Amino acid sequence: MLEFVQIAIGGLVVGSIYAAIALGFSLVFRVTGAINLSQGGFAIIAAMIGYTFAVAWGWPLPLAIPAAIAATVAVGVALAAFTFVPALTRLSNANVLMLTAGILTMIEGIALVVWGSQPYAMPPFSGEAPLVFGPIRIPTQAFWVFGATAVCIVALWFLIARTKLGKGLRACAENPAAASLMGIDVPRMTLLSFGLATLIAAIAGVIVAPTTSLQFDTGRLFTISGFVAAAIGGIASFPGAVIGGLFLGLVTQLSTAYISSLFSTAISLLILLVVLIWRPQGLIRTGVARRQDTREEVKAAGHAAKLPAYLGWPLAALAVAAAVLIPLAVTDNGIMSGLVIAAILFMTLMGLDVLMGYAGQVSLGQAGFMAIGGYTSGYLAINYDVASLLAILAGIAVSLVCALVLSVVTLRLRGLYLALATLAFGLLVDSCAVGFLDITGGPSGLVGIPSFSVAGVTFATPRAMYYVVLALDVIILIALVGAMRSGFGRALKAIRSDQMAAAALGINTVRYKLAAFLISVTLASLAGSLYAFFFNFLAPEMVGTSRSLELVAMLIIGGESTLVGGLFGALLLTLLPTIFAPLAIYKTFASGTLLIGSFLYLPQGFYGALVQILARLTGSNNDVSRSASTAKSEVPAS
């Protein structure tokens, strides 16, 4: 019993931090309708600045802590002013979510460059000696955590419910267009909500810093836990955020103590998935449900880049020829491996593009299927000597079964909740990969996977593997182009932009969305298997949630709903760090910045920009619309 109390208190400490982060989620969501994934990043930045001030520079804590919080808020507001606020008017909410993932990545990149990858720990605010209540010992920092969280909750409630400013914030939440007509400066309110969320995150960060060790990418965990907590509690509800946070903290700590630390994440994610099925709006529903309007997606749908028809085939032939010849010129083994990885990831990206770019279904857990494919085929190949092709097929079969189970949840969800469910799935696979030691080898990975071989021929070198993957990529690309330019692709695009109108025309939306999902899963699983065969090794972080987010980044940077766009993103993000190896420390920062930049300035990605340049060079006028708008419609013959 004593032990239980001790653990429960620990759970409440962690839970308070989750609650604080979740509170930030709710706040930004209520004001803007978007999810801000960057929160956890700001928590870490605040903690690290606090460390520098207090430990490295020796400032007294009462000065260092507020200074660190202030500095973080300043960074957050500045970042938001140039990214989040302008993005809200241009991007759909699902894409804003990805943009904030980009901000998170960028912050992590900054932290990596400034503070390196080693962990930091701050000294407790009030000394090391815990308070003793009879047999129960409570670290003093716990009281700081409880106190700070409580102050945040009360202050936020007061601001929203009792002040004029709060009224303005609430008006933005209800109807931004009407609010701006009433003279409320919506961008300013957006910035304010982001700033407040950053403030809460920063406070949470510095307060939690003494209880745990932090490193540049711990922010991810805070973001994810906060997001999960907010979703369990009800994303639009402040009490929901608090209850969700405390609940999640208790569940993770208790299950770590009494079941296994390896499965504590898995258990909280299962709870989340159950909540999403049972009550998608979360445990605590607020009266004001934000409209999840499909027309929201209009902003996102945009116009995909399209090559002039007569350039398509010649350029494709040229690209394939170049891809075949490149290895002859490449002598560096690192670059050759980079090419293979890019080619493998491109396979996943084509599937992801069908799912996201065409069907408009966000997936933040695509690497989860790479993991299922990779681990299944790797395990079979190691333990049962199963031939490569059979092992790959088995991996695909297992992935498809998992996908069908997951689709029970995902087919009912849209936008934000879909993003959340897929994220949870990816994390779940992640924690299973760590937890099932006997099958996956746990955190240290699955070793001794044989190289890919068919009919006695083994493709062990990067160059040999490159040609295998290239051939598959070309075949898959041709097949998908065939489907996307025909009825199937058109139906997906219609569903993406207006599901109700598509259904009213007799398009079976469920079936098409499921088909797109299964295509993407098949390709991800195939790519995962090839990945495992190529490295002869598979570890959880190679196919974890960071990989999922990276895949989405690659797709956006390359260009959505183009099928080939992903290739540009994959090449950029895999080859650049290999080529500029000394600058590898900037990789995280660069990929975050690229993602943000693409969202804001290259809505059609690198591929789109390339197509536009090509169109201008060849002088072909892609813009028929301009000349057409002057044409008068004729009266139909009656």
Partner 1 sequence: MTAIDTSENSSAGESAILRVRGLVKSFGGLKAINDVSFEAAAHQITAMIGPNGAGKTTVFNLITNIMSKDAGKVMFLGSDLSGMPAVKIAGLGLIRTFQSARVFPGMTGIENVMVGGHRLGRHSLASQTLWLSGARDEERRLRRRATEMLELVGLSAFAETHATELPMGAQKLLEVVRALMAQPKLLCLDEPAAGLNDTETQELANLLRAIRRLGISVLIVEHNMSLVMNVADRIVVIDSGAIIANGTPAEVQNDSRVIEAYLGREEHAAS
State the residues that interact with partner 1 by CB under 8 A: 298, 301-304, 478-480, 482-483, 485-488, 490-491, 493-494, 496-498, 500-509, 515, 624-625, 628-629, 631-638
Of residues 222, 192, 194, 198, the one with CA closest to residue 208: 222
Query: Considering the complex, what minimum distance in angstroms separates the CB of residue 458 from partner 1?
Result: 30
174 class by beta-carbon count within 10 Å (0-12 exposed, 13-18 middle, 19+ buried): exposed
CB of 632 to partner 1, least distance (A): 8
Distance in Å, CB of 297 to partner 1, minimum: 8
DSSP H/E element including 532: helix 509-535
What is the amino acid identity at position 621?
N
Q: Are 387 and 563 in contact (CB under 8 A)?
A: no
Nearer to partner 1, 166 or 302 (CB): 302
Q: How far is the CB of 603 from partner 1 (least distance, A)?
A: 11
Structure token pair of residue 620: 């072909």
Smallest gap from residue 408 Cβ to partner 1 (A): 17
> What DSSP element (H or E) covers 343?
helix 333-352
Task: Report DSSP letters for 182-246, one per residue.
Answer: TT--HHHHHHHHHHHHHHHHHHHHHHHGGGS-B-TTHHHHHHHHHHHHHHHH-TT-HHHHHHHHH
CA atoms within 13 A on the CB side of 389: 8
> Shortest gap between Cβ of 499 and partner 1 (angstroms)?
10
> At its nearest, how many Å lie between partner 1 and the CB of residue 624?
4
Q: 453 CB contacts (<8 Å, ≥6 apart)?
A: 387, 388, 459
Residue 203 or 305 having the CB closest to partner 1: 305
Q: Which is nearer to partner 1, 326 or 494 (CB)?
A: 494
State the nearest-atom distance from the C-beta of 305 to partner 1, in Å: 12
- Tell me how far, at minimum, the Cβ of 562 lies from partner 1, in Å: 13
State which H helix or E strand residue 489 sits in: helix 487-497
Distance (Å, rounded) from C-alpha 148 to C-alpha 146? Answer: 6
Nearer to partner 1, 220 or 493 (CB): 493
At its nearest, how many Å lie between partner 1 and the CB of residue 291? 14
CB nearer partner 1, residue 481 or residue 575? 481
**177, burial (CB in 10 Å: exposed 0-12, middle 13-18, buried 19+):** exposed
Question: Closest separation between CB of residue 484 and partner 1, Å?
Answer: 9
Identify which of residues 328 and 628 has a Cβ nearer to partner 1 in the complex: 628
> Please, are residues 174 and 167 in contact by the beta-carbon 8 Å criterion?
no
Closest CB to partner 1 among residues 131, 298: 298
Can you tell me the distance from the alpha carbon of 245 to that of 625, in angstroms, rounded to the nearest whole number?
A: 51
Nearer to partner 1, 62 or 506 (CB): 506
Q: Which is nearer to partner 1, 43 or 477 (CB)?
A: 477
Q: How far apart are CA 50 and CA 66, in angstroms?
A: 9
Residues 233 and 238: their CA atoms lie apart, in Å, by: 9
**Beta carbon nearer to partner 1, 437 or 475:** 475
Inter-residue contact 228 to 272 (CB < 8 Å)? yes
Minimum distance of partner 1 from residue 31's CB (angstroms)? 26
Closest separation in Å from C-beta 175 to partner 1: 17
Of 232 and 507, the one with the shorter C-beta distance to partner 1 is 507
Rounded Cα–Cα distance for residues 521 and 515 (Å): 10
Distance (Å) of CA 581 to CA 346, 585, 593: 22, 9, 18
Is residue 407 within 8 A of residue 425, CB to CB? The reply is: no
- Alpha-carbon distance of 587 to 80, in angstroms, equals 22
Residues 6+ apart with CB under 8 A from 236: 26, 29, 30, 281, 282, 286, 288, 289, 290
**Rounded Cα–Cα distance for residues 593 and 106 (Å):** 6
In angstroms, the CA 183 to CA 469 distance is: 57
DSSP 536: T
CB of residue 233 to partner 1, shortest distance in Å = 28
Check residue 138 and report its DSSP letter: E
Helix, strand, coil shares of the chain, percent, nearest 5, are 75, 5, 20
Identity of the residue, 163 or 486, whose beta carbon is nearer to partner 1 in the bound complex:
486
| Closest to partner 1 by CB, 299 or 587 | 299
Beta bridge partners of 537: 447
Compare residues 448 and 482 and give the one whose CB is closer to partner 1: 482
